[in-house]
Amino acid sequence: MKKMLLLGAATLLLTQVVAVQAQPALPDAVQNRVDSVMPQVVEWRRDFHQHPELGNREFRTSGIIAEHLEALGMEVKTGIAHTGVVGILRGGQPGPVVALRADMDALPVEEQVDLPFASQVRTQYNGQDVGVMHACGHDNHMAILMGAASVLAGMKDELTGTVMFIFQPAEEGAPAGEEGGAELMLAEGIFADLRPDAVFGLHVWPIPAGVIAVREGGTMASSDSFTIRVQGQQTHGAAPWAGIDPIVVASQIVMGLQTIPSRQLNATTTPSIVTVGAINGGLRSNIIPDSVEMIGTLRTFDAETRTQIHERVTRTAEQIAASAGATAEVDISLGYPVTANDPGLTRAMQPTLQRVVGDRLIESPLITGAEDFSYYANEVPGMFFFLGIAADDPDMVYPNHSPYFYADERALPVGVQAMTALALDFLSSQ
């Protein structure tokens, strides 16, 4: 998950829910299947954690997953979007199709957590030797979905409909010069022959272990990047009137961009962020350079607002530059769309989550990180929720993407129960 943040609202939840309570039982037959698969779920999770692989390079990981799904008797497709795996479980009776998704890739982060199964993996990333770690918890996602696959495959004859298990590479982004992730899986047709009626996904999050957080509508932000190149006219630093100073123009643009979320967008619709992350230009103290380049990120939770931000960034930069006799070239690169939970689906499935976790079901805060689950949810109704993995010891709680990120394994059975129950309840309710 890109640029995950432990938000203040999520931090407050840590003080509100302090312990994992006993699990409310699913139907006995289902709960017995969950209980029987849990030792293997823990084993899978630890193995994936110890052997992480970066996006589009999940060769060992996808091989283990494909072998497991094949052993369960599913129709299995491999090599989708480089290393993606899709398993199809057809129930004993015809009915709707539900998709369950887990992401597989790790991050170029050197692990600092003292675990017997800590990652020691190193590899090359963008020309650098880096450590590799499941610092965003995708090892948990895979193990949970493999466990749910075992439970549901054991109930195949009782299922009314079909379950699609999506194991996706490169959620954190494809390597430079490559495509990947959910967008490429869809482009290669995973929904073409068998289109789900709904798709569900989860992400582990540093809130108390076993808590589930979900909300209707916009949940995680869109994530777009921009480059603004300001073209002035180089001159001596002692004679600024003899040229056009792109540094001053760039400074004015930075300040102008901040008026977009604060003064140009409807503040009651959705929070929005315009951040300039770097400014580069110039070589010497006494030379006004010819040009300056700025790069930054744009975040919001509403598709229409996203379009408005793009228009206003371009207009603001171009017109401020023109007022000084300079020019501004604006390039906006689209990243992940808004991750929006379908309101009707979310309302319909909240009782399922509540049955699994009881009063540990809470409303998720808005998350300014981005997720490519959004592509699936733009194709079919989707619901994405957060599963708490924070330890009781606050000194062990770190945000996703930290080298100290730690996932409490007490959350694993909750994840298996939730994904299993969502699939069963959705199929039986259609």
Spatial CB neighbours of 179, under 8 Å, sequence gap ≥ 6: 81, 187
Active site residue 409: yes
Residues 298/273, Cβ–Cβ less than 8 Å: yes
Residues 100/427, Cβ–Cβ less than 8 Å: no
Q: Which H or E element spans position 351?
A: helix 343-357
For residue 278, count CB atoms less than 10 angstroms from its CB and return exposed for 0-12, middle for 13-18, buried for 19 or more.
Answer: exposed
Spatial CB neighbours of 62, under 8 Å, sequence gap ≥ 6: 78, 83, 84, 85, 104, 167, 169
β-bridge partners, 363: 214
The one catalytic residue in 171, 172, 183, 336 is 336
Share in percent of the chain as helix, strand, coil (round to 5): 35, 30, 35
Active site residue 125: no
Half-sphere exposure of 205 (CA within 13 A, CB side): 28
The sheet that has 222-231: what strands, in order across it? 272-280, 291-300, 222-231, 327-333
CA angle 327, 328, 332 (to 5 degrees): 160
The one catalytic residue in 75, 293, 379, 409 is 409
Residues 398/206, Cβ–Cβ less than 8 Å: yes
C-alpha dihedral, 423 to 336 to 302 to 357, nearest 10° = 30
The beta-strand segments (E) located in 122-216 are 122-125, 128-131, 160-168, 198-208, 212-214
Residues in the chain: 430
CA-to-CA distance for 66 and 6, rounded, in angstroms?
33
- Where in the sequence numbering do the catalytic residues fall? 336, 409
